[in-house]
Amino acid sequence: MSILLYVISYFSLLVFIVACAVRALSYARAPIHLRWELYPVPHEAPHRVGHGGSYYEEPEWWTKSSPRNLLGELKSMGAEILFLKALWEFNRKLWYRSFPFHFGLYILIFAVFLILLCGLISFISPGFMQGSLAAGLQFVFRAAGGGGLALSIWGALGLLQLRLTDSRMKIYTTPGDIFNLLFFIAAFGTLSAGFLLGTGPSTGILAFTRGLLSFDTSFETTGLLAAGLVLTGLLVAYIPLTHMSHFIAKYFTYHNIRWDDAANRRGGRIEVKLAECLAYRPTWSAAHIGADGKKTWADIAASSPARGPKK
């Protein structure tokens, strides 16, 4: 039983890491695209960022350096990642559900790191777990784990209720969307039950963590906690296979698109990338494009459109 739990945990983690990496790489390896930024861009100069201005407001902007306003960017990222600012501003009804859901997840991730830390320390110094610091850590873990689970379940229930009842969302909701939320509720619900009804609320998890780190086959737990751990493991593996991996997507949509205002300078890094793209050979069929599979984008841009039959 314990071995099965460990295998599922490591397997889930591995799937999660590999699937996230594959997804991130697939976006990162896409060629440079045409600029498509959207203002306000928070790394703009502080005197412009308030009204959403860009360096194009400067006369002869190309003669001036425009240092990146890192603080502005961090502030904007922090507000979006931690507090879901866009939802707060534009969709308050959803924010009341989505925020607890996401914030619960953040707290849970924190709790997982904490328990891993406790597990590691207890190997290095077996007496540590008897000390008052350990008791404090365990208290924080219990509060974070319990609070995180409760918040996420509450949020997921709210999201489910909205998906099933809000006419704006109903027609776009697929069975997969419902399943995703039910999966969260089932996994976290079972985990919470195992957590609360188990022999000792945190020793069970700590013992599991220690066992996980050492492949200790003597670890035993309740069926409920085991079921919670298995379901949560599978959920972790499942997330990056779906659109719920938007935490990866958001990095690219914000940094590589909305906020990508990097100007192309002669002989610069962007120009090198563009040279590669302009050498691609498109195969679009419309006559006016004149693509024959041999001409490059550069050739087409330099040519006149062919007059061909329309429509």
Partner 1 sequence: MRKDIHLKDLSRKQKEPLLHLEKKDLMPLPYPLEDPDDGPPFAELKEQIREKYECGLDDTCAVSIPKPATKEEEDALVAKFLSGLEKLFTKENNWTFLQPLLLSMEHCAKCQTCSEACHIYEASGKNELYRPTFRSELMRRLYFKHVKKGGLLSAWQHGDIEINWPLVARLIELSYRCNLCRRCAQTCPIGADNGLVAHELRKIFSQEMGIAAKELHDSGSMLQLQVGSSTGMNAVVVKDNIEFIDEDMEEKTGMKVQTPWDVEGAEVLLIHNAGEILAWPENPGAFAVILNAAGIKWTLSSEVAGYDSINYGVWYDDAQFARVAVKHAEAAKKLGVKKIVLGECGHAHKALTVIADRVLTGDLNIPRESSMTLLRDIVMSGRLKLDPGRNDFPVTLHDPCNMVRLMGIVEPQREVIRKICPRFREMTPHGVDNYCCGGGSGFAIMSGNNFPDWRFQVAGRKKLEQILHAFGDCMDPSIPKYLCAPCSNCKGQLRDLLAYYEMWDKHKILYGGLVELIVNAMEDAKPGFIEWEWH
Cis before 40 (ω within 30): yes
165 binds partner 1 (CB under 8 A): no
For helices 203-214 and 2-28, what crossing angle results, to 10°?
70
Please identify which residue in 20, 24, 53, 110 interacts with partner 1, judged by CB under 8 A: 53
Told to check if 278 binds partner 1 by CB under 8 A, we report yes
Q: Is 279 exposed, middle or buried (0-12, 13-18, 19+ CB in 10 A)?
A: exposed
Q: Quote the least distance from Cβ 75 to partner 1, whole Å.
A: 17
Q: Which two tokens stand for residue 137?
A: 């850590």
**Minimum Å distance from CB 104 to partner 1?**
17
Of 44-52, 108-116, 183-191, 200-208, the window that binds partner 1 (rule: CB under 8 A) is 44-52
- CB of residue 8 vs partner 1: minimum separation in angstroms? 22
57 touches partner 1 by CB under 8 A: yes
Among 61, 113, 123, 139, binds partner 1 (CB under 8 A): 61
Q: What is the DSSP letter of 60?
A: T
> Under the criterion CB under 8 A, does residue 292 sit at the interface with partner 1?
no
71, 131, 286, 292: residue in contact with partner 1 (rule CB under 8 A): 286
Cα→Cα distances 131→136, 202, 269, Å: 9, 15, 56
Nearer to partner 1, 199 or 283 (CB): 283
> Which position among 26, 161, 199, 217 is part of the footprint of partner 1 (CB under 8 A)?
26
To the nearest whole angstrom, how small is the minimum distance from the Cβ of residue 309 to partner 1? 7
Binding mask 101-140 for partner 1 (x = CB under 8 A): ----------------------------------------
Residue 301: exposure state from Cβ atoms within 10 A (0-12, 13-18, ≥19): exposed
Q: Label residue 44 left, alpha or beta by phi (over 0 means left) and psi (-120 to 50 means alpha).
A: beta
Of residues 1 and 28, the one with the C-beta less far from partner 1? 28
Residue whose CB is less far from partner 1, 154 or 252: 252
Query: How far is the C-alpha of 239 from the C-alpha of 15, rounded, in Å?
Result: 10
The answer to the question of residue 270 lying near partner 1 (CB under 8 A) is yes
CB of 156 to partner 1, least distance (A): 14
Contacts of 227 (CB under 8 A, 6+ apart): 190, 194
Closest approach of partner 1 to the CB of residue 254, in Å: 6
Residue listed under structure tokens 């704006």: 168
**Number of CB atoms found within 10 A of residue 262's CB:** 14
End-to-end Cα, the chain, rounded Å = 66
